[in-house]
Amino acid sequence: MVKICCIGAGYVGGPTMAVIAFKCPSVEVAVVDISVPRITAWNSDKLPIYEPGLDEVVKKCRGKNLFFSNEIEKHVAAADIVFVSVNTPTKTSGLGAGKAADLTYWESAARMIADVSKSSKIVVEKSTVPVKTAEAIEKILTHNSKGIEFHVLSNPEFLAEGTAITDLFNPDRVLIGGREENAGGLKAIQTLKDIYVQWVPQERIICTNLWSAELSKLAANAFLAQRISSVNSISALCEATGANVTQVSSAVGKDLRIGSKFLNASVGFGGSCFQKDILNLVYICECNGLPEVANYWKQVIKINDYQKNRFVNRLVSSMFNTISGKKIGILGFSFKKDTGDTRETPAIDVCKGLLNDKAQLVIYDPQVPEAQIFKDLSTPKFDWDQLGSTIQITEDAVAQSVKVVHNAYEATKDAHAICILTEWDEFKSLDYQKIYNNMPKPAYMFDGRNVVDVAKLRQIGFIVYSIGKPLDPWLKDMPAIA
């Protein structure tokens, strides 16, 4: 029986390994983590992450060929294949702070693998890492290896949160990078391919050299984020001219060379990956003496910051330039629907911007716990962080000006304005007449995700702002200073 161990039981390690166990009954999978609460949650009825379809997959395999454990060394020692899926956040201090990936967790995992291994292993980079990381990992492993053979593969993960299980069941591609130039490397690539081939069609499994696999992951995220910043930049121009961004992106996306996906204008992209990975790409370009290329990709993040800023400014300027003491109902806090993850969610910057203008916020999100929202809003950002960045709200100010509630009607009652910051499906079908009746007038709706029916809400009486859509006459006269 092939034994797999995955170091890191997070958003990637947990679902990915659950799906491998589910699809490959003859493989034994152990997912290990340093965090005791995380492992306890994986072994309980309330999994540590919300992901549609995940519960069923975990319940089918847990205790049979899928195990979650804090006994890291034991499971690593026993494994034939070790996946490393630890976090690789942006460095916050030292060389490359604010851009480079922090590989502390990765390096400590690699050193531990070298220390505890008594048999040869394939070590798989699942985390997103800078191109050439495999070279450093090989050095760490072989330097301490006591004659054991290690083969390093790069197998980046392309799942998106909220659709992780369907993405893993039916991936566009699986990418395996390895040392194609030697027999051991080729054998390692084949061993990993033999796992995926149990449910992924052969032609979707792409084998490359190590550096292509590592770089493809960063490049894919940069291209995806670039599409959002591109459409968001056009949304500003739509508002200035009377064009409608939904019509423009639909017309543009009909060109098969461009494609229709990932062209939804929004208040900005969030999540733990896009900003981090582009910053990482920027840093790699700078280190390779390519400042023009670095600046090109930096612009994708700048437009994202501009978009969040623009949203806050539009709201404040439309409400007579003051929101001091005004209640604002916030619908949605996670970085996208169907996840409770708030890492880099645009809601943090938008809410901080509103708090900076002394608004009173009442927040509702179907999945994000109250404590997480308070933590996110009072955690200082780093100096290097872009935009809203400089805005720091103290814990006391957050406690005084923010309330978290358990449904959308409570959040919007007596509110001067509503902001939709996540596209949760339930926000499409709320009783907006009832909501309107419970708000002081004029009642504003600022839809940062283009989820509401603008015409219908205007008919009810709302003043509606929807990203990139023709402006409400009320808003037209308001300056939209960025």
Ligand X SMILES: O=c1ccn([C@@H]2O[C@H](COP(=O)(O)OP(=O)(O)O[C@H]3O[C@H](CO)[C@@H](O)[C@H](O)[C@H]3O)[C@@H](O)[C@H]2O)c(=O)[nH]1
Which residues are part of the catalytic machinery? Answer: 273
Which of ligand X, ligand NAD, none binds 424 (CB below 5-8 Å, type-dependent)?
none
Q: CA nearest 239: which of 458, 463, 466?
A: 466
453 annotated to a ligand binding site: no
Give the list of residues 6+ apart from residue 72 with CB closer than 8 angstroms, or none: 7, 32, 33, 34, 112
Question: By CB under 6 A, is residue 91 in contact with ligand X?
Answer: no
Helix (H, G, I), strand (E, B) or coil at 66: strand
CB of 400 to ligand NAD, least distance (A): 31
Question: By CB under 6 A, is residue 263 in contact with ligand X?
Answer: yes
**Cis status of the peptide bond prior to 369, with omega within 30 of 0:** no
307 annotated to a ligand binding site: no
- The tokens for 268 are 């900005």
Which of ligand X, ligand NAD, none binds 389 (CB below 5-8 Å, type-dependent)?
none
320 annotated to a ligand binding site: no
Question: By CB under 6 A, is residue 159 in contact with ligand X?
Answer: yes
CB of 301 to ligand X, least distance (A): 13
Name the one residue in this structure whose structure tokens are 């000006």: 401
SS3 per-residue string spanning 274-291:
HHHHHHHHHHHHHHCCCH
CA distance 86 to 126: 8
CB of 274 to ligand X, least distance (A): 6
Burial class (CB in 10 A: 0-12, 13-18, 19+), 403: middle
Instruction: Give 107 or 149: the residue with its C-beta nearer to ligand NAD.
Output: 107
Instruction: Give 70 or 372: the residue with its C-beta nearer to ligand X.
Output: 372
Which of ligand X, ligand NAD, none binds 270 (CB below 5-8 Å, type-dependent)?
ligand X
User: Which residues of this protein are in contact with ligand NAD, per CB under 6 A?
Assistant: 7-13, 33-35, 38, 72, 85-88, 105, 108-109, 127-128, 157, 159, 161, 272-273
CA distance 7 to 72: 7
273 annotated to a ligand binding site: yes
Instruction: Give 401 or 450: the residue with its C-beta nearer to ligand X.
Output: 450
Which of ligand NAD, ligand X, none binds 235 (CB below 5-8 Å, type-dependent)?
none
Which of ligand X, ligand NAD, none binds 108 (CB below 5-8 Å, type-dependent)?
ligand NAD
Answer yes or no: are the C-beta atoms of 348 and 305 closer than 8 Å: no
Angle at 337 between CA 475 and CA 420, to 5 degrees: 20
10 annotated to a ligand binding site: yes
8 annotated to a ligand binding site: yes
Partners of 466 in the β-ladder: 447
88 annotated to a ligand binding site: yes
Instruction: Give 43 or 108: the residue with its C-beta nearer to ligand NAD.
Output: 108
- The tokens for 42 are 């994986």
Instruction: Give 127 or 466: the residue with its C-beta nearer to ligand NAD.
Output: 127
CB of 39 to ligand X, least distance (A): 23
CB of 344 to ligand X, least distance (A): 8
- What are the distances in angstroms from CA 25 to CA 17, 47, 302? 12, 22, 46
Instruction: Give 378 or 450: the residue with its C-beta nearer to ligand X.
Output: 450
Angle of helix 13-23 relative to helix 54-61, nearest 10 degrees, comes to 60
Helix (H, G, I), strand (E, B) or coil at 176: strand
CA distance 236 to 232: 7
CB of 216 to ligand X, least distance (A): 11
Which of ligand NAD, ligand X, none binds 16 (CB below 5-8 Å, type-dependent)?
none
| Among positions 148, 160, 219, 293, the unique one binding ligand X when judged by CB under 6 A | 160
| Among positions 228, 234, 284, 316, the unique one binding ligand X when judged by CB under 6 A | 228
Answer yes or no: are the C-beta atoms of 161 and 341 closer than 8 Å: yes
Q: CA nearest 480: which of 305, 240, 242?
A: 240
- The tokens for 443 are 């009642």
Count the residues in the chain.
482
Question: By CB under 6 A, is residue 85 in contact with ligand X?
Answer: no
Instruction: Give 16 or 378: the residue with its C-beta nearer to ligand X.
Output: 16
| Among positions 270, 329, 340, 468, the unique one binding ligand X when judged by CB under 6 A | 270
Instruction: For the sheet with 463-466, list strands across it.
Output: 402-404, 360-364, 327-331, 417-420, 444-447, 463-466
Answer yes or no: are the C-beta atoms of 482 and 317 closer than 8 Å: no
Region near ligand X per CB under 6 A, out of 260-268, 291-299, 427-435, 463-471: 260-268
243 annotated to a ligand binding site: no
Q: List interacting residues with ligand X (CB under 6 A).
A: 128, 157-161, 221, 224, 228, 262-264, 266, 269-271, 273-274, 335-336
| Residues that constitute the known binding site | 8-13, 33, 38, 86-90, 127-128, 161, 273-276, 343
- Residue list, annotated binding site for NAD(+): 8-13, 33, 38, 86-90, 127-128, 161, 273-276, 343
